[in-house]
Amino acid sequence: EKTIGILTGGGDCPGLNAVIRAVVRKGITAYRYRFRGILKGWKGMMECDWEPLGLEEISGILPKGGTILGTSRTNPFKEEDGGEIVVDNMRRMKLDALVAIGGEDTLGVANKLASMSVPIVGVPKTIDNDLNGTDYTFGFDTAVNIVTEAIDRIHTTAESHNRVMVIEVMGRHSGWIALHAGLAGGADMILIPEQKYTIQEIVSTIRKRHERGKDFSIVVVAEGAQLVSELVAHAVEEGTSYETRVTVLGHLQRGGTPTAFDRVLGTRFGIAAIDLVHAGDFGKMVSLQGNEIVAIPLAEAVNQLKLVDQELYDLATVFFG
Ligand code: F6P
C-alpha cells in the first residue's frame, strides 16, 4: 500500500478543496492509496506536521472556500538545508509521492525537489491566473465573478451620486482579474500592470465620457498597476473636479465558495494529478490547454509569468471613456 502526501501552499484560493477531494477520492477508491494531509504547505513538510486524510475527511468539502489543510508562504529553499530537510522528512513520514497544489512559489519548490529526485506532481493554483503553461487556474473564475458583482453594485451608487468610483482589485503582477471583471462589469477604464498610462490620459478619458453626458465613471485598477488606486483617484478628482471614491476589494476576492467552473476545473486537475502519480510520471504539473487536461514539466510553469492577452486588452479599450 502506497502512502501519498498532499499539501496546499501560498495564498488560499477557491477550489483548493475540490482538488484535495478529487485526489483523495480517486487515490483511495481506484488505487488503494493511503493519504497524509500535510498541514500549512511546506511548513508542514519542514516540521512533519500531518493528519490522516480519508474518505471521511474529504466528505462535504467541495463547496467550501479556503483549504482544509491550511496554508503558509514558507519556502524551504529560503531556509538553511531546507531542501535536504524536506527530502529527509519524506522518508520520515514514509511518503512514496507528494502532490503539491500551489502557485509560482510553491511549484518552484516542487520543481527544485523534482530535480533532487523527489517523486512529486504539481497542481496550478492562483486567483490571478498568471501561471505559465495553463490557460486557466481554478479560483480565477470565482474572483472574476465576485469582482463583477462588486462593480455592478458600485455602479448604482456611482450613478446616484455622480461620482468617479475607483475599484482596486487583486493582481500583483498581472491584470487578468481587472481585465475580465472590468469587461464583464462595463468599466470605463481598466488599469493593469502590463500597460503604461499617464495621468493626463486617465483624466482626459474620464472628462471625455462626462462631456458626452455621462456623469459617473467606473475605473478598475489592478493592485500591481504602475499608478496605484489612491493616486489615480486623487489625480482624477484634481483634474476633473468630479467627486471620487476608492474601494479596495482585497481578500474578499479569495474567500467563500468556488463557482461551478472552478469546482469542475479543480476536480479535473485533482483526478489528473493522482493519475500522474499512479503512472509514476513525476516532475510534472497538470494544466488546462484548450479544453484538455495535459501534463507539462514543472519547470515550464515556473520560468515565467503569463501576462494578459494584448488583444483582449485592445478590445476592452473600445469601451473606455
Ligand atoms: O496571488 C494571489 C494574491 O491574492 C494576489 O492577488 C495578492 O497580491 C496576494 O495574493 C495577497 O497576498 P496576501 O494574502 O499574503 O496578502
**pLDDT 10s digits, 235-294:** 999 999 999 999 999 999 999 999 999 999 999 999 999 999 999 999 999 999 999 999
Q: What is the pLDDT of residue 91?
A: 98
**Rounded distance from Cα 126 to ligand 1 centre (Å):** 9
Ligand 1 contact, 254 CB (< 6 A): yes
Helix (H, G, I), strand (E, B) or coil at 162: coil
**Rounded distance from Cα 102 to ligand 1 centre (Å):** 13
**Rounded distance from Cα 132 to ligand 1 centre (Å):** 17
pLDDT confidence bin for 55, thresholds 50/70/90: very high
Count of CB atoms within 10 A of residue 310's CB? 10
Selected catalytic residue, list 12, 105, 128, 130: 128
Percentage with pLDDT > 70 across the chain: 100
Q: Is 70 left (phi over 0), alpha (psi -120 to 50) or beta?
A: left
pTM confidence score: 0.97
ipTM: 0.97
Ligand 1 contact, 127 CB (< 6 A): yes
What residues contact 43, with CB distance under 8 A and at least 6 apart?
A: 49, 72, 74
Residue 254 alpha carbon, nearest atom of ligand 1: 4
Residue 171 alpha carbon, nearest atom of ligand 1: 6
Ligand 1 contact, 139 CB (< 6 A): no
